[in-house]
Structure formats: C-alpha cells, structure tokens
Amino acid sequence: MTASTPTALAILNARLIDPASDYDGPGAVLVEDGRIVEVIRGTHAVAPAGIKVIDADGRCLAPGLIDIRVKTGEPGAEPKETLKSAAQSAAAGGVTTIVIQPDTDPALDDPAMIDFIQRRGAALGLVNVRAAGAATRTCDGQRMAEIGLMDEAGALYFTDVDRVIFNTRTLQRVMSYAATFNALISCRPTDPWLSEGAVATSGELATRLGLSSVPAIAERIQLERDLALVEQTGARFLVDQISTGGALETLARARAKGLEIAASVSVNHLCFNEIDIGDYRTFYRLDPPLRSEADRKALIEAVREGLIDVITSAHAPAPAEDKRRPFSEATPGAIGLETLLPAVLTLHHEAGLDLLDILRPVTHGPASLLGLEAGRLAEGTPADLILFDANAPVVIDAVTLKSKSKNSPFDGRRLQGKVLLTIVGGRIVHGEE
C-alpha cells in the first residue's frame, strides 16, 4: 500500500508492550505530527474530539521493530532486492527501521554512498532507512575506510559484514580510530582459516552428508582476538551474529570486565538447528551455518538473560538461480524482514519467554545501541509503532512475500503472530487505515 500522510490519531484499547519501561498492560497511545504526544496506561482512555481513532480490541501495541542487519541488492544487484522492495517487506513485517549493510557494489565506504542510501530511502516514504558504513575500503579487510566522514554523514556503525578483518593490525587501527569519536565497530567472529570453504558445522550430520564443515570453536577463537583488541583500544564493539554456546561464555567473561560490548543473533539461529539442513535443503544454507540444538538452546537462554542485546532478521536475499544448486555451491543467506515478528514470537509460544524479553532485542535494544530516538513508547518519541495479534496463526508462503527474492527458510511453516498495522512517523505504511 502507499503510505498515508501523518495524521493525528488515537490507538485505544491496546495491550501496550514497552520493553524500555518494562510495561505490559492495558493502555492507549495518542499521536500527533508524527510523534507520540501521550501514553495512557489503564483501561479508561478517551480520544480527544476530532481525532482519528483505531480500536486495538486488546491486541498488542509496541514500538516498531528495528532490524540492524539488512542486505539489499541496491546498488549493484537490484534483481535480488531494491531499497523499495526491502522497505515494502519491512513495512509488511512491522519493521519500522532498517539498517542497510555496506557490502553492496559499490560498497558503502564513503560519505557520498551513505548519503545516497539514506536519501533514497527517505524518498520512498515507507520505513526509516539508515546505513552502516564499511570498516575497510570495499570491505577488503586491508585499508581503513573514511569512518569519521561516514559517521558525520549518518552511518550508524561500521562493519565488513561477513568478511573477517583477518589482519589484526588493520582491525586495531580501525578500533583505535573509531574509539576517538565513540563510533561502533561490528565484526562477525569466525576464524578465517578454520572456516574457509565450510558450509556446515562440524559434527555427525556434516560428516554423513559429506559437507565441508567448520568447528564451533572457530567462532570463539576469533571472538577472543576481537575482544582483546576491544580491551586494548577501548572501542565500542558489536559481536555480529553470535551463534555458539562457547562464544557466549567468552562474551559473558568480557562483559564482566566492564568492556562496552553488545551482541546480536540471527533469528534463524534461534529457530533452527543443523538438523534442519535435512537432505541438502539450500534455504537453510546460512552463514554462519546452523549450529547444534545445544547451541540453539544456549542462544535462547542468552536472550532470556539479556546477554544478547539485538535479534536481527539477517535479511540476505538470493534469487532462485543462486539457491537451486548443490548445497555447497548455493549462496548462503535467507530473507527475513517480513517473517521477523512471528519468528521471534516462537520464543514466546514454544520456549516460554516473556513478550517483553522477546521484543526488547528488536526494539529498545537496537535503538539504545545505535542512539536512535525510536524503540519505546514515550511522550515525544517518533510514532513508529506496530499493532499485532500475538496469537493469530499464519502460514508462511514465500511466493506472497514482498521481497524480490523468495529464499525463506520459514516457507510452509505454521507460526503465530500477525502484523495488523505498521505506523512510521505517524503514517500508516501497512494495514487498514
């Protein structure tokens, strides 16, 4: 749908879920000029005269989801995904802010490219589109990018995405420079030599299927190096897509030292394990690869305990011709913007996590990490909201998803959680007005 213009509205009779204030209870929200003007807790809210009223009928009203790890094909590979199709997918999934990853063609490694992405996203008039900058030029892991200028242009953090900065001196320089103006550096931990050519996690299944594999310890080894550099440089650091229990132990020890470290996890690694590969199903070919059930359970507990700060969709579109190949040759990655809400809600319905604990890593957690105003229900904050039915059954049909690519591992799955309304800056961008 085309986004509506900002309007004054009242959403009444809602179940407010605000992880920033730990409130889960009845209430209403009043919106004017694109911002929240009042949050009313309780059951007796009345809308001012002349204002548009939406009756939530007891359904959940929460801050819009924030996804800090979204890949698109634009620029350079638009058939995979454009900024417009990604924004449409986000709106349909209740995601009100997306952060585009810099491994595009050309890479987002200078201020002009950061400005292009954010201006193009704003012109779409759908969701908030922000950008992460490359830590090194062209994400080559060798030459430090223009981090300071990109920071001034609005880049939210700096990363080489899936490419490991294996040159320790380069990463040290990146961290030291970023620390001078408190910029956030993000790295995905995996030892580049142990993981080279791997498509699965080492174990009985990978051996039986004859797949090249990487031991889980490769993640911990690289994380130990990265955190040693964090301690030495004082940089703010995000552990990108942590996926193993061993790495969680390393993370906990570093946190106990008082280092400024956050961690993210892909929703795929919370919902699936290595067994889901089955008979070489390439929609489950991910990077990092799916781990053991013990690792999956450890990640869920880390979300429950607050050790993990951010859950991402790890949206990585790949067309059919890149997925319909032998497993070892298939492009890794999965789309996830439109399925993020029902996917994270499986932690509530199947693992018993509280809704506040589930929504915190997709709202207040990333907003706090990146210094965004959104992510909470509070007076004066942007009216980026999602109204959803946490119990409504949905069957995921990849063909109907708005992404240009259809590589969803949730295709055909029965989940619970339906987005009814997505509001960005007071504008209804998805759902019935």
Residue 269 placed within a domain: yes
Q: Which domain holds residue 120?
A: 64-370
Residue 321: its pLDDT value, please?
95
Residue 398 inside a domain? The answer is no
Whose CA is closest to 19, among 359, 312, 351? Answer: 359
CATH number of the domain to which 127 belongs: 3.20.20.140
244 is a domain residue:
yes
Give the integer Cα–Cα distance in Å for 332 and 284: 8
pLDDT digits (tens), the chain, 433 positions: 456 666 799 999 999 999 999 999 999 999 999 999 999 999 877 888 889 999 999 999 999 999 999 999 999 999 999 999 999 999 999 999 999 999 999 999 999 999 999 999 999 999 999 999 999 999 999 999 999 999 999 999 999 999 999 999 999 999 999 999 999 999 999 999 999 999 999 999 999 999 999 999 999 999 999 999 999 999 999 999 999 999 999 999 999 999 999 999 999 999 999 999 999 999 999 999 999 999 999 999 999 999 999 999 999 999 999 999 999 999 999 999 999 999 999 999 999 999 999 999 999 999 999 999 999 999 999 999 999 999 999 999 999 999 999 999 999 999 999 999 999 999 999 997 5
Q: Is the dihedral of CA 399, 401, 402, 407 positive or negative?
A: negative
Q: What is the DSSP letter of 328?
A: G
Per the domain annotation, does 112 fall within a domain? yes
* Contact between 89 and 338 (Cβ < 8 Å): yes
- Residue 393, both tokens: 């059954």
What Rg do the C-alpha atoms of the chain give, in angstroms? 21
Task: Please give the tally of structural domains in the chain.
Answer: 1
- What is the Cα–Cα distance from 161 to 384, expressed in whole angstroms? 27
| Joined tokens for residue 261 | 């470290």
* pLDDT value, residue 433: 52
**Parallel/antiparallel/unpaired status of strands 133-134 and 200-201:** unpaired
The overall pTM is greater than 0.85: yes
**CB-side exposure of 167: number of CA atoms within 13 Å?**
13
Q: Round to whole Å and give the CA distance between 302 and 357.
A: 11
Residue 416 within a domain: no
Q: Is residue 335 part of a domain?
A: yes
